[in-house]
């Protein structure tokens, strides 16, 4: 009798869970498993052990299936927006993402709490998400969601501007992008998404489009190296200057630095110089210089939100710029191979 009573009590407590609590329980389970695996990586004493645990990082796939099941079963419940948002921001590599995208465009187009998911659509194909973003702008009554949709549209137009093949295409995309960002600055100045003011992000994009596009005169860089010695970008006017934003913390940078070192050696007797913007704290920077035998001078920016990195509105590492002898940007967000080819062509 007691056992039957306890079972009934357990069942009633499960059924009493809200939709958001059910979804949150699955998400928490996934995040707990990832944290546990991360702790094993940290505690591992050999590279073999670390590699073993890195290869066993829990996949979001099974959890995405469970989250989608709950979300679809309660599609009209406002709380299911949590599931849609998580699937879009954390499960883009899985089939469940497409279903979440359809729900975002229909049952949750006017929902609150989906701003992070809406903003994340900036990385998806414009043909797919453009209509969704415009629909959210028109139908969602919440300022966070409206601002997120406007920002994602602006970033979509910005990428089309950056990739434009003709001046006409570039100008049209630039106008559309700047219009989106200017509306955010003027109409959504008090909106924050995940703790970050959206108007600040839009303002940095406006600065980038006006001052950091190919053909623009590069802003002055003035700072110190890790030993406190000051130098400026303009000190090297008259030469081709390669700027590399990087850090020892950046795994993608590790394989590139040897190629940059070789480039420096190959360009030794030419009017070409490489200057780095390192984003490590000073002690870590010194270690990275030694570990990777860095043979080019670096400004020490101290962090990925340092003054130089912030000025250039960095979104990826490593990032390369090629500056011409006249101080104008020749290539932006490119590769060291493309820079080598461009310089040889010049």
Domains and their CATH numbers in the chain: 20-211 (1.25.40), 222-345 (3.40.30.10)
pLDDT confidence of 163, banded at 50, 70, 90? Answer: confident
Output 9 or 59, whichever has higher pLDDT.
59
Q: Are 126 and 160 in contact (CB under 8 A)?
A: yes
User: Is the pLDDT reported for residue 9 higher than 70?
Assistant: no
d(CA 337, CA 262): 11
Across the range 19-28, mean pLDDT stands at 96
Q: CA–CA separation, 134 vs 184, rounded Å?
A: 15
Q: For position 346, what pLDDT does the model report?
A: 75
CB 284 within 8 A of CB 324: no
pLDDT in tens, 179-232: 999 999 999 999 999 999 999 999 999 999 999 999 999 999 999 999 999 999
What is the C-alpha separation between 146 and 136, in angstroms, rounded? 7
Rounded Cα gap, residues 242 and 316, in angstroms: 16
Least confident residue range of 11-20, 247-256, 317-326: 11-20
Q: Which two tokens stand for residue 23?
A: 């979804």
Would you say 121 and 88 are in contact if contact means Cβ atoms under 8 Å apart? yes
- State phi, psi for 112 to the nearest 5 degrees: -90, 160
Q: What predicted TM-score, i.e. pTM, was given to this entire model? A: 0.83
pLDDT at 10 over 60: no
Give the integer Cα–Cα distance in Å for 302 and 300.
Answer: 6
Q: Is 273 strand, coil or helix?
A: strand
Contact call for residues 64 and 91 (beta carbons, < 8 A) = yes
Q: What is the mean pLDDT of the chain?
A: 93
């Amino acid at each position: 009798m007691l056992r039957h009573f306890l079972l009934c009590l357990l069942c009633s407590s499960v059924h009493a869970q809200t939709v958001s609590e059910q979804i949150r329980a699955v998400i928490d389970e996934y995040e707990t498993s990832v944290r546990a695996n991360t702790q094993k990586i940290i505690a591992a004493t050999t590279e073999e052990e670390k590699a073993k645990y890195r290869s066993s990082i829990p996949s979001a796939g099974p959890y995405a299936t469970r989250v989608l099941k709950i979300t679809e079963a309660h599609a009209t419940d406002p709380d299911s927006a949590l599931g849609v948002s998580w699937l879009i921001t954390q499960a883009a590599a899985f089939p469940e993402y497409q279903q979440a995208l359809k729900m975002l465009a229909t049952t949750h187009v006017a929902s609150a709490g989906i701003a992070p998911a809406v903003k994340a659509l900036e990385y998806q194909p414009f043909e797919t998400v453009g209509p969704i973003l415009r629909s959210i702008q028109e139908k969602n009554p919440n300022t966070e969601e409206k601002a997120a949709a406007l920002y994602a549209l602006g970033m979509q137009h910005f990428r089309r501007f950056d990739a434009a093949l003709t001046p006409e295409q570039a100008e049209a995309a630039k106008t559309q992008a700047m219009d989106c960002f200017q509306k955010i600055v003027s109409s959504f100045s008090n909106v924050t998404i995940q703790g970050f003011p959206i108007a600040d992000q839009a303002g940095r994009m406006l600065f980038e489009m006006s001052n950091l596009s190919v053909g623009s005169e590069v802003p002055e860089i003035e700072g110190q190296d890790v030993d406190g010695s000051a130098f400026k970008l303009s000190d090297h006017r008259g030469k081709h200057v390669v700027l590399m934003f990087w850090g020892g913390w950046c795994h993608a940078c590790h394989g590139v630095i040897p190629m940059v070192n070789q480039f420096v050696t190959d360009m030794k007797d030419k009017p070409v110089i490489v200057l780095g913007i390192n984003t490590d704290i000073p002690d870590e920077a010194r270690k990275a210089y030694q570990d990777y035998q860095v043979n080019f001078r670096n400004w020490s920016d101290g962090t990925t939100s340092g003054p130089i990195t912030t000025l250039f509105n960095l979104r990826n590492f490593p990032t390369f710029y090629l500056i011409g002898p006249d101080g104008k940007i020749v290539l932006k967000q490119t590769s060291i191979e493309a820079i080598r080819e461009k310089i040889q062509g010049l």
